Structures are given as C-alpha cells and as structure tokens.
Amino acid sequence: MNLMCVIISIVLRYVNSETLIIHKDLVGFFECDTGITGRALADKITATLNDFHLNLSFLRGQGYDGAGNMAGSVKGTAALITEEYPLALYLHCASHCLNLAVVKSLQSTNRQRAYELAIAETQPSSSVQKLKDLCRTCWVDSLSTFCSLYKSTVSCMETIISEGPQLWSSDSLTDARIPAYNLHSPTVNLHGECLDIVTAVQEIDTVIPTVKNVRDNIDRYHSEWFHNVQKMCEVTSTIPSIPRTCRHQTQRCNVPADTPSQYFCRTITIPLVDHLVSQLTARFTQHHKLALLGWLSLVPSAMTKMSKEAFTENILKLSDLYSIDLPSPGSMNSEVECWKLKWEQHLSIHGPSSLPNSLTSTLAQTSSMYPNIKTLLIILGILPVTSCSAVRYFRSLKRMKTPYCSTMTTHRLASLSLLHLHRDSEIDIEAAVDEFSRRHPQRLQVANILRDE
C-alpha cells in the first residue's frame, strides 16, 4: 500500500430482519484515489455501496466526523448525499472542546523523546509514555492522561525553553509557553466518559441554558476553575502570572488585565464558554432532536415518563418524516394509542424495572400488531450515534500494515485486515479456491496432483 494514499473505512449499521438485532459491520478499507473533497468522497461512498448491490433508496442515516469536507453544509459529503437521498439523516459524531496546544507541541520525534526523558526523570513509575492524541469522541481519556502527566509535561516544556532556539524551532518554543490549564475546559463538568444517550437527549434542551447561565455568572465559575488550576500549578511550583504585553502581539492574546485570574478569564474562559454555546446549538439540529426524541417516544422506559401530549406530538412528527417507509400510515394514530396503553398496563403490573430500555430490547417485543412502530424502531436503530467504530477499525489496519507494508498491495492488505476483523465469520475454503481459479485461471492451475486421471 502506498504510504501517501488516503484510506477511508466504511461501516454499515443495519437491523437483521429475522432476529431484529442491530449490527455494525465493517465492509472494507478503500483508497480515495479521486481526492478527498466532499464530492469525491460522496461519489466514492455511494459507488462502493452500489458495488455491494445495496439499494440506496433505503439509506436512512449517515455519520462522519466534523471535518469540513465531510460535514460542510453546502459541498460536504453529508450534504451531497442528503441532496440525492433526502431521508439519509446526517448525525454528527459528538465533538468536544479541548485545546490542542500540548498535544500539538509533542508531535515531532525530538519533542516526544524529550518528553519521554522528562517522564523518566519526574515520574519513573508511570506506565504512560506519551500524551494521547485528541479524539473527538474519547476526549476525557486525553484529559486524564494529561492531568496524570502534568508534572512531566511542564518539565519537558521548561527543557525546551531553557535550551532555546539553538536546539528547538520557534514553533516549539511558542507552543511550549502556552499555559497548560488552557485544557481545563468546562466541558468536563458538562459531559461524562459514558454519557447515556437517553440522558443526553433528555438534557439537550437544558444544556444550552445551563452553559448560558455559566456565561452570565462567569466570574464565580471562573474563580472555582482558576482555584483548581492553581492547585495543579503547586505540583510544579508554578505561579500563574500575566504574560508580558507589547504593542504588537502575534502569538497570544493581548487584552488588558489587572490580575492573572482576570487575564485568563478574558483570554480563555469567556471565549471557551461562548464557543460551547455556539457548538451545542449547531450540533443538535432540529432533525437530530426530532429523531432522538422520537426514539425516546418509542422506547417504553422513556415513553411512560412522557405526557400524552408530548408523546403524541413526537410520534406524529416522526411518522410524518418517515411516512414513505410506513406500511400502514393510515392506522398510525390507533397503533400509537394501543402501543402506549400496552406498556402503561405492563408498568402497573410488573413495575418500571421490567420495561425495555433500549431499541434492541424494544424491537424484540414488537409484534406484528404494530407494523408502523416496528418500522420506525428499525429506522431509528440504524441511525449512527458516533463514528467511533470506523476510527477504531483503523487500528487493525495499522497492525497489519506494519509487518506487511513491503509486500502487500492495497487490495491484499485491506482484504487481510477484513479477515482479521471478522474472525468469527465462516469461510468456505473450497468456494474461495473455485472463485479464485475462475477469476485468475492463468495464476493457478487447479488440479489434484494426487489423483490419476
């Protein structure tokens, strides 16, 4: 495989029509040979799915990261696919605000080596030897690693600064001077490592007012955060101070301030909270909330906690959005009434702990009496929540590429990685040999040398 080529992984999320179990399967790694623009990637994805003989008129969801070529509202991959398939709802993989300064400052080989030496000197018992790359969906791990290695991080930065421009580039010196507590963002207080999607959806309409309340009372909240930062600084005997100011400042903010707390409140905390408000507003679109609220309206554990008016409104909006997929749209109202009554009676007899609390468990208890609700559950079950799976599969590709990069071509490496990932799949060896001999008869003379004919 060419070391400079760009590879994308495609994961399909679907519901088995017989078992009603939700699956997420990697279908392969594919080279972006025509470019990485929104149009090129959209064409690549749709062409690949067509090669698998999939009817894209049934495409109901798509999920990517927040890169501009993927999520752009006009020329992004998601927008172009949605333009052709309007019901392919785009769900953004959750993005969290965390500053990249320290991670960026340790990307080069020399910086990483200096960092390892600092860890060996200041924290020799640490099993972690580098900061984790910033991941949009696993940001808490990166933050936890940084906090545990804070002492070593400061030591490494001080070494870079003390050795000066003779050994380090100006970029390294500038990045090393960025305050470490820039990474202590309020997002840690708003999110958890394993935030349940039900809780997340219920809190969508309250998170933004909460952050706005933080913005309105920024002095009080910043005082608490700055106090925590000061405790971290005590580990390295660091005293927060205001950077020197000058008339022409290009490397950092030059706002006037009387105290260090006031300076960092104006340069870091306030811009960060404002950014959180804008991002939370942008991430959860009306269609996004509609789909997720509809999901809550169908799962019994959440449905029984909703008022009848809210339940009916959400279900009707959801049925209008996917009316083309419903087998009996005319009976939707009566079906919804029966569905709600069924689980209210179940709740009164068996208690709340017996109610299904996930799409999978709800689908398993959906009978043929509720064809419309079953269809909506299947559609909502295939909507992607995150793009973590696609990113995670690249780790397997990297494991395979290291020992075989000198001998494997693009197709062979991708196929070998698929075999490695889908080890539980049964493979008919004879059928594989027959198919190979049919496609490439010149490469393999299929004959049994032990048989006399």
The percentage of residues in the chain with a pLDDT greater than 70, rounded to a whole number, is 57
Better-scored residue on pLDDT, 189 or 258 = 258
Rounded (10°) angle between helices 371-382 and 308-321:
70
Pinpoint the residues of the chain covered by CATH 3.30.420. Answer: 7-93+386-436
Mean pLDDT over 187-196 rounds to 36
pLDDT for res 180: 31
Question: Across the chain, which distance is largest between two alpha carbons, in Å?
Answer: 97
Q: What is the pLDDT of residues 214-225, one digit of tens each?
A: 888 888 888 888
Q: What residues have CB less than 8 Å from 273, skipping those under 6 apart?
A: 186, 211, 214, 215, 218
pLDDT for res 101: 27
Task: Give the Cα separation of 373 and 333 in Å (integer).
Answer: 11
Q: Which of 130-139, 225-234, 264-273, 409-418 has the lowest mean pLDDT?
A: 130-139
Q: What is the pLDDT of residues 26-63, one digit of tens each?
A: 888 888 888 888 899 999 999 999 998 999 989 988 88
Q: Tell me, which fold does domain 7-93+386-436 have in CATH?
A: Nucleotidyltransferase; domain 5 (3.30.420)
Considering only CA atoms, which of 176, 283, 174 is closest in space to residue 292? 283
Q: What does pTM read for this prediction? A: 0.56
Give one DSSP letter per residue of 393-446, joined into a string.
HHHHHHHHHHHHTTT--HHHHHHHHHHHHTTTS---HHHHHHHHHHH-TTT---
Asked if 240 and 230 touch (Cβ cutoff 8 Å), the reply is yes
pLDDT for res 105: 34
Give one DSSP letter per residue of 313-324, joined into a string.
HHHHHHHHHTGG
Task: Give the Cα separation of 395 and 223 in Å (integer).
Answer: 41
pLDDT for res 448: 56
Average pLDDT, the chain: 71
Better-scored residue on pLDDT, 403 or 327 = 327
Q: What is the pLDDT of residues 135-159, one digit of tens each?
A: 444 555 556 666 666 666 666 666 6
